[in-house]
Amino acid sequence: MPLSRRLLLTALAGSAISPMARAQAYPSKPIKLIVPFPAGGGGDNLARLTMGRVATELGQPIVFENLAGAGGNIGSAAAARAPADGYTLLYGTNGTHGINQTLYKRPGFDALKDFEPVSRLTSIAAMVVIRPGLPVATMGELLQLLKANPGKYTFASAGNGTTSHLSGEILKAEAGLAVVHIPYRGGAAAITDVIGGQVDFMIDVMPNTAPQVRGGRLKGLAVSTAKRVPGFADMPTIAESGLPGFNVGAWDAIFAPAGTPKAIVDQINAAIQKALADPELRSQLASRGADVVGGSPQELKTFMAQEIERWGAAVKRSGASVD
Tens of pLDDT, residues 246-263:
988 899 999 999 999 999
pLDDT at residue 322, as a whole number: 85
Q: Where are the domains of the chain?
A: 30-124+250-318, 125-241
Neighbours of 8 (CB within 10 A): 11
Q: Is 125-241 in the same CATH topology as 30-124+250-318?
A: yes
The Cβ of residue 62 has, within 10 Å, a number of other Cβ atoms equal to 19
CATH number corresponding to 30-124+250-318: 3.40.190.150
Give residue 1's pLDDT: 55
Q: What single DSSP character describes residue 322? A: B
Q: For the residues of 135-189, what is the DSSP string, one character each?
A: S-SSHHHHHHHHHHSTTT-EEEESSTTSHHHHHHHHHHHHHT---EEEE-SSHHH
* Cβ contact 75:34 at 8 Å: yes
Collapsed DSSP state (helix, strand, coil) of residue 4: helix
- pLDDT given at position 274: 98
Q: Which of 268, 224, 271 is nearest to 248 (CA)?
A: 224
Can you give the pTM of this predicted structure? 0.80
- Topology of domain 125-241, per CATH? D-Maltodextrin-Binding Protein; domain 2 (3.40.190)
Closest C-alpha to 182, from 174, 173, 169, 170: 169
Return the pLDDT at 53.
Answer: 97
Under 8 Å between Cβ of 222 and 211: no
User: Exposed, middle or buried: residue 148 (CB in 10 Å: 0-12, 13-18, 19+)?
Assistant: exposed
- pLDDT for residue 33: 98
Residues (pLDDT < 50) of the chain are 3, 7-14, 16-23
Name the residue among 221, 197, 247 with its Cα closest to residue 127: 221
Distances (CA, A) of 290 to 187, 231, 240, 305: 17, 9, 20, 21
3-class secondary-structure state, position 79: helix
